[in-house]
Amino acid sequence: MSQENVEIVRRARERGHGDAEFFSPDVVYRPIAIWADSQECRGLDELRRFHENIAEMFAGLRVDNESYHDYGDAVSVRVEFSGTARASGVPITGKVFVVYWLRDDVIVRVDDYTERVDVLKAVGLSE
């Protein structure tokens, strides 16, 4: 079951956030506070809109899925990103840990973290 969850998340990330095949219509997304619009998103439309806004804010946005970790009902992905802020021209680089929570082969919640230790706490483990 867990490896299946990893594959679901991998395919969801390849297709883009908000694909109804992989996400619950009531999905909840909690982005990290560094994003300009870091409010909790509820539902597919808000999730799609959030990611569209991020893509519009950065020129040449590049997102690399570095590693996937299986935690049963949760899968974490270490993501590296880079681009240039359109408003200021300032280049950005960073990483985020994204935790996908699944139920019945569908992603029901997505939480962003800046530190791996917070991911481990979220999934009920410690370092």
Domain ranges of the chain: 2-122
The confidence score (pLDDT) of residue 1 equals 47
The confidence score (pLDDT) of residue 55 equals 83
**Full-model pTM:** 0.90
The answer to whether the beta carbons of residues 43 and 126 sit under 8 Å apart is no
Please report the sign of the dihedral spanned by the C-alpha atoms of residue 49, residue 118, residue 107, residue 3: positive
Average pLDDT of the residues in 6-20? 88
Q: Which fold has domain 2-122?
A: Nuclear Transport Factor 2; Chain: A, (3.10.450)
The answer to whether the beta carbons of residues 107 and 27 sit under 8 Å apart is yes
Average pLDDT of the residues in 2-19? 88
User: What's the angle, vertex CA 44, arms to CA 38 and CA 48, rounded to 5?
Assistant: 55
**Sequence-ordered alpha helix ranges (H) in 16-109:** 44-57
Q: Which two tokens stand for residue 116?
A: 């791996």
Q: Mean pLDDT for the chain?
A: 89
- pLDDT above 80 for 88: yes
105 three-state secondary structure: coil
- pLDDT above 90 for 79: yes
**All residues at 6 or more sequence positions from 22 whose CB lies less than 8 Å from its CB, including other chains:** 8, 9, 11, 12, 15, 106, 107
User: What's the angle, vertex CA 111, arms to CA 109 and CA 113, rounded to 5?
Assistant: 170
Query: Residue holding tokens 């960073």?
Result: 94
